[in-house]
């Protein structure tokens, strides 16, 4: 895996962990978040899985941030 792919994989992982963090802070299940964003629970699960890079549209990221009550930029403020 080249350096750029490793970086991108790390970014997907951090995005998923951030979504999971805020979802849990709001007391939502993956299914509840999925229902509010018109995504499948499996898609939310794959997004949050640290070893499963899953693409997601910007529109859906806006939907997720709306449901979680956070600005979309918070999804990209990765914790080290």
pLDDT number for residue 57: 93
21-48: b (≥16 Cβ within 10 Å) or e: ebbeeeebebeebbeebebeeebbbbbb
Give pLDDT, residue 5.
Answer: 84
Could you list the pLDDT tens digit for every one of the 80 residues in the chain?
Answer: 577 688 888 888 999 999 999 999 999 999 999 999 999 999 999 999 987 777 899 999 999 999 999 999 999 998 76
Residues 6+ apart with CB under 8 A from 20: 48
What pTM, to 2 d.p., does this model score? 0.88
Longest dimension (CA), the chain: 38
* Distance, CA of 51 to CA of 60 (rounded, Å): 20
Domain, as residue range, for 20? 3-76
Count of structural domains, the chain: 1
Q: Report the CATH number at residue 66.
A: 1.10.260.40
Q: How far apart are alpha carbons 17 and 49 in whole angstroms?
A: 8
């Amino acid at each position: 895996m080249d350096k750029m792919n490793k970086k991108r994989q790390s970014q997907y992982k951090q995005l998923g962990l951030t979504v999971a963090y805020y979802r849990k802070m709001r007391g939502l299940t993956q299914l509840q978040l999925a229902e509010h964003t018109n995504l499948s629970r499996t898609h939310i699960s794959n997004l949050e899985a640290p070893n499963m890079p899953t693409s997601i549209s910007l529109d859906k990221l806006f939907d997720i941030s709306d449901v979680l009550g956070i600005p979309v930029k918070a999804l990209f403020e990765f914790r080290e």
